[in-house]
Structure 1
Amino acid sequence: MPRLSEVTAALAALWPASLAEGWDAVGTVAGDPDAQVGRVLFAVDPVQEIVDEAVKLGADLLITHHPLYLRGTTTVAASTFKGRVVHTLIKNDIALHVAHTNADKADPGVSDALAGALGLRVVRPLVPDPADPAGRRGLGRICELDHPVTLRELAGTAADRLPATAQGIRVAGDLDATIRTVAVSGGSGDSLFDDVRAAGVDAFLTADLRHHPVSEAREHSSLALLDAAHWATEWPWCELAASQLEQISDREGWGLRVHVSRTPTDPWTAHAASNSPLTTFGAPN
């Protein structure tokens, strides 16, 4: 079995820390570099439910997209929920490694996985990384469809292929509009509206869209908008990343057992509509 330091070196090659935003906190959060790694679990959020799953699975390494500590802290006391995560990890000899905005910008990255889940063909990054001469890295992706669909059909595809959540897929635009090109961005995407408009696409699928940016975008153009749950747009990356690590393991002869958590960690757990029963949501499809 490989040492943790060997595995994290491979992860650093997939998602270099240099790609991360300056405010981000990526890399190894907990773990002994000399400890052996035999089983790995991928998840979006380093919350207690996921850590407990890693313990039950017998994982030696947990890899998450979201950081545990994005900002500084003065305590890891188990009386705090993040401190309890740290205590559980250390007591059970489980390392934690984070790939966040460096995985967003990587080639392939979070938005490539999102596009793949939707059956979209990636053309180029939405916001290219100027340091990449090949022009393949960056935030978001510009995509094409194999054949035109209506906005209604695209929304239905997103609802069917992304993990089910209480939010579902919110849509702004003419449901019968023809969609040929789509910009996608895993996670919060309304800061990218200027780039999306400049790209001239027919639709933009992302998460966490706020009222005022959406209202302004709709007033300024006919751009169709699809707003999915944050967790749902990033979960496909876990499967992509797990496949990447499995390929490395096979090449190096490590024999890693790699798993993807299907535990939903979207914070919204139910949706109520008028004259309709309350619907709750579980694991991804």
Structure 2
Amino acid sequence: MPTIADAVSLLEEIAPPVLAEEWDNVGLLAGDPAAPLHRALTCLTLSPDVVAEAAHAHADLVVTHHPLPFRGVRSLSTEGIDGGSLWRLARAGVAVYSPHTAYDSAAGGVNDQWAQRVGLIDVVPLVRSPIREEVCGVGRIGDLPGGRFAALVQAVRQTVSPAAVLRVVPPPDGAARRVAIACGSGGSLLDAALAAGCDTLLTGELGFHECLRCRSLGVGVVLTGHYASERFAVESLAVRLAAELPGVEVSASTAERDPLSPAAM
């Protein structure tokens, strides 16, 4: 019978914890490594809806991209959202693992999957990992065949949910030759993208003044929303875990939703 430890070993192979940012909280965050593993659930964030789904499905493990706890939790009480979620999971015997920024940066991780889905070539990390020798690191950059911004936007639409709302800073010449990718919030990587000669940035979210800066510099921007920039990758992770953990039922959460939606007219 597979155990939680078997899933941890596989997850550490897929997203080596050494790749995680120093501020992050990755790994097995709750649970007994020796416990048997029958069912696992993947999600982007451990919202109360996902917690209820995991308990109802009798999952033994939830793999959440965004860690819970992320920073310190002072109490495990139903009076708080984070503490209450951890309390309910513990009572239901559900372990919690988070790969977060290790999965973002890993070879075959979130940013690599984005590069593949939009058709970039000659892809390399935007910021190479100083720890590991293989091709992994923070963000990705690559060349877009054809070099047209409209083609990039169309490729992005084919990856995200039909309900996702894309926002763009269109480049003045309609070009997208050298593209930088940063899932989630990409503002901290804008300077690195500019230094690498990128004329386009694909990310989940970017601040207002950063968008103004890009427009002033003639840099194109595609914003998918934070949820859409990462959710597809926890779905592909569920497929991989199911294939490599024989006898374990693995699925992506069906209760999870983007907290943001278009306003009703």
TM-score, structure 2 normalization: 0.91
Q: Which amino acid aligns with 2:257?
A: T
Q: Structure 2: how far apart are the matches of 1:121 and 1:241? A: 23
1:189 match: 186
Seen in structure 2, the aligned counterparts of structure 1 residues 175 and 40 have a Cα distance that, compared at 3 Å, is farther
1:265 match: 257
Aligned length in residues:
265
1:63 match: 63
Q: Is the 8 A contact 1:26 1:99 kept in 2?
A: yes
Identity of aligned residues (%): 34
Q: Which amino acid aligns with 2:36?
A: Q
Q: Structure 2: how far apart are the matches of 1:80 and 1:164? A: 33
Q: Structure 2: how far apart are the matches of 1:169 and 1:140? A: 20
Q: Structure 2: how far apart are the matches of 1:52 and 1:72? A: 22
Q: Is the 8 A contact 2:169 2:214 kept in 1?
A: no
Q: Which amino acid aligns with 1:2?
A: P
Q: Pick from 223, 226, 242: which aligns with 1:227?
A: 223
- Per the TM alignment, residue 49 of structure 1 is displaced from its structure 2 partner at its CA by 0.7
Aligned residue for 1:127, secondary structure, equals strand
Q: Pick from 206, 209, 214: which aligns with 1:209?
A: 206
Q: Is the 8 A contact 2:17 2:26 kept in 1?
A: yes
Q: Structure 2: how far apart are the matches of 1:263 and 1:205? A: 27
Aligned residue for 2:146, secondary structure, equals strand
Matched, 1:77 2:62: no
1:142 match: 141
Aligned residue for 1:259, secondary structure, equals strand
Matched, 1:21 2:18: no
The residue correspondences of 1:107-256 to structure 2 (distance < 5 A) are: 107-121=107-121, 123-134=123-134, 136-145=135-144, 147-148=145-146, 150-165=148-163, 168-174=165-171, 177-219=174-216, 221-249=217-245, 254-256=246-248
Seen in structure 2, the aligned counterparts of structure 1 residues 228 and 48 have a Cα distance that, compared at 3 Å, is same
Q: Is the 8 A contact 1:188 1:207 kept in 2?
A: yes
- Per the TM alignment, residue 176 of structure 1 is displaced from its structure 2 partner at its CA by 6.1
Q: Structure 2: how far apart are the matches of 1:116 and 1:56? A: 35
- Per the TM alignment, residue 97 of structure 1 is displaced from its structure 2 partner at its CA by 0.6
Q: Structure 2: how far apart are the matches of 1:210 and 1:113? A: 24
Q: Is the 8 A contact 2:31 2:95 kept in 1?
A: yes
Q: Structure 1: how far apart are the matches of 2:209 and 2:139? A: 21
Aligned residue for 1:2, secondary structure, equals coil
Seen in structure 2, the aligned counterparts of structure 1 residues 174 and 21 have a Cα distance that, compared at 3 Å, is closer
Q: Structure 1: how far apart are the matches of 2:115 and 2:158? A: 14
Aligned residue for 1:270, secondary structure, equals coil
Q: Which amino acid aligns with 1:148?
A: G
Q: Structure 1: how far apart are the matches of 2:174 and 2:119? A: 19
Q: Is the 8 A contact 1:165 1:232 kept in 2?
A: no
Seen in structure 2, the aligned counterparts of structure 1 residues 262 and 121 have a Cα distance that, compared at 3 Å, is farther
Between stretches 25-34 and 188-197, larger displacement belongs to: 25-34
- Per the TM alignment, residue 177 of structure 1 is displaced from its structure 2 partner at its CA by 0.8
Q: Is the 8 A contact 1:20 1:101 kept in 2?
A: yes
Q: Which amino acid aligns with 1:38?
A: H
Q: Structure 2: how far apart are the matches of 1:128 and 1:121? A: 17
Q: Is the 8 A contact 2:50 2:256 kept in 1?
A: no
- Per the TM alignment, residue 149 of structure 1 is displaced from its structure 2 partner at its CA by 5.3
- Per the TM alignment, residue 121 of structure 1 is displaced from its structure 2 partner at its CA by 4.0
Residue ranges of structure 1 left out of the alignment (5+ in a row): 278-285
Residue ranges of structure 2 left out of the alignment (5+ in a row): none
Q: Is the 8 A contact 1:42 1:64 kept in 2?
A: yes
Aligned residue for 1:185, secondary structure, equals strand
Q: Which amino acid aligns with 1:17?
A: P
- Per the TM alignment, residue 40 of structure 1 is displaced from its structure 2 partner at its CA by 1.2
Q: Is the 8 A contact 2:29 2:96 kept in 1?
A: yes
